[in-house]
Chain A
Amino acid sequence: MKILNPTMSFAPEKGKLAPRIETLEGKTIGFLWNAYPGGDRLLKRAEEIVSAKYRLKGMRRYTKSYLGEPAGKEILKKLASDCDVVSPR
């Protein structure tokens, strides 16, 4: 007899890595908070450490609307257009 496979598998989307940067000097860093309690404090401390160590062009803050799903397209667009580097937590 035959039986049918009940599972579905999905091929992950193929992406490619953005080119790595050589230094944080003069860069704009985007900090992405996943909205989980405490993460914002962690990122704030990260901002302090990084900005003390490098002369940054700027820092931007973003928050996901829900920790359990990927950041929305709007945030991803802004990260790509406004920032050189992204630091998520």
Chain B
Amino acid sequence: MSKPLTSEHIDVADDAAAMEYAWAHGWSDGLPIVPPTPERVAHFLDHAGLAPSQLVGEYRVRNRGITAEKVAINAVMAGCKAEYLPVVLAATEAVTDPAFRLNHIASTSSPWPAFIVNGPVTKAIGMNSGMYVLGPGNRANATIGRAISLVLANCMEAKPGGVQQGIMGNAARMGGMVVAEKDDTAWGPLSAARGFEAGANTVTGVSMWEGGPQQVVAFPAEHFPQGKQAEAFSAVLAEYLSDGYGGGGTDTVILSPIWHKVYLDEGWGRDDLRRYLESHVRTSVGRLKRRRRWIPGPGEQPTIAASAPLKPGDEERYYSPAREKEFDDGSGYERYSFRTAKRDSKERFLFAVAGGEAGQGQPFACIIRAYDAGEPVTKRIRLPGESR
């Protein structure tokens, strides 16, 4: 290592003292950390072929630039191996990209990023894409997610006392929500759908809202009509996806291999599923009123049961993407939606295939509803020797 590490060097007696120091100074997420010694950090940077001062995450909106050295320190603390660092770096790039609108993680509703990793690197570093993929249990999945959480907490003030105002917090953050997609999906990997070439190593950062991932199970499968299973299974997904806060971000659906096979058997590709969901995921006005998400109109008063009086036909009237216009009472202010501009486009849903293979009669999926600002960002993972 030719270039010095410029972070403050702190003397501690031993490993135990290092962990206590980290706890005492707010560096930890609550769990013990691996002491970030200069030797360990230098080894990580050498392995990745990066100078310590290399800027990795530039979040210009807050004039922040996170260096490779800081990412490496936090990755060591998280318990990563050196070979995981390129994935952590790419994930840091993804969430600091302006399109991700990272500041949304400050929300009182506690959104947090989740990540889908693609490419040969997932096998090379031993990531889990199979049973119990959401974890815990796999060192790579768990520590990569934890590293990102520590980087953002320690370098971007993404913690209470910093910028985060989450009332409840995000239970999925501790595990980090990093999944590897299965690399043998017949309809191609998520990375290809995101525009990358075959065999690319990528990380896709998505927004994870509403408390974290929600499991969907479609069984007993024998009750689904033959030849119409793809549509029936998609209807279940649409039912769950419609049951959200009514936001407009890009939702992510993780399909177990058994569920995915339903689509393969009936010739559905990603676009077929996306088109189905785009026309079937919708929240009725009645549901929005009962969820107190519908602002009363002129002369209307909220009730005990609903934020605006329920009217006949409300269950069949649906939230429209142009809903902002419903709130326009002539104030004269130009109305942008702070929802992502891409929500009406083909980016409305992302799909990844991961999870266990057992349970023929119990197809599982998992939905990750997105906060309604920012959009998913995919970044290439640059392995040692690859140019940046």
Contacts and interface: CB of A to CB of B under 8 A. Distances in A.
Given A4-B10, A4-B36, A69 B103 contact: yes
A24 interface: no
Contacts of A51: none
14 contacts: A1-B12, A2-B38, A4-B73, A5-B7, A5-B10, A6-B73, A44-B333, A61-B332, A61-B333, A61-B334, A63-B333, A66-B101, A67-B373, A70-B61
B27 A66 contact: no
Contact of B8 (A4, A13, A64, A70): A4
Interface of A: 1-8, 10, 13, 31, 33, 35-37, 40-41, 43-44, 61-70
Contact of A13 (B5, B14, B63): B63
B336 A4 contact: no
A70 B77 CA distance: 32
B242 interface: no
A3 B12 contact: yes
The 8 closest A-B pairs by CB, nearest first: A5-B8, A68-B103, A40-B333, A40-B331, A44-B331, A4-B7, A6-B73, A8-B155
A2 B295 CA distance: 57
B77 to A, nearest CB: 6
B36 A6 contact: yes
A69 B37 CA distance: 36
B333 A4 contact: no
Contacts of A5: 7-10, 27, 73
Contacts of B10: 2-5
Contacts, number: 111
Given A37-B295, A44-B331, A63-B336, A6 B154 contact: yes
Interface residues of B, number: 49
Contacts of B63: 10, 13
A63 B335 contact: yes
A68 B334 CA distance: 17
Contacts of A8: 64, 66-67, 70, 154-155
B9 A66 contact: no
Contact of B331 (A1, A6, A43, A62): A43
A57 B218 CA distance: 64
Given A64-B336, A68-B107, 20 more contacts: A1-B11, A1-B35, A2-B9, A2-B11, A3-B12, A3-B36, A3-B37, A4-B41, A5-B9, A6-B27, A6-B154, A7-B70, A7-B155, A10-B64, A44-B332, A65-B336, A65-B338, A66-B101, A68-B103, A69-B101
Contacts of A62: 334
A30 B331 CA distance: 15
A4 B38 contact: yes
Contacts of B333: 31, 33, 40, 43-44, 61, 63
Given A44-B331, A68-B104, A69-B61, A4 B154 contact: no
A63 B66 CA distance: 30
B74 interface: yes
B329 interface: yes
A67 B329 CA distance: 20
Output the residue of A5, A44, A61 with the most chain B CB within 10 A: A5
A62 B9 CA distance: 47
A54 to B, nearest CB: 19
B268 interface: no
A33 B66 CA distance: 31
A55 to B, nearest CB: 20
B61 A3 contact: no
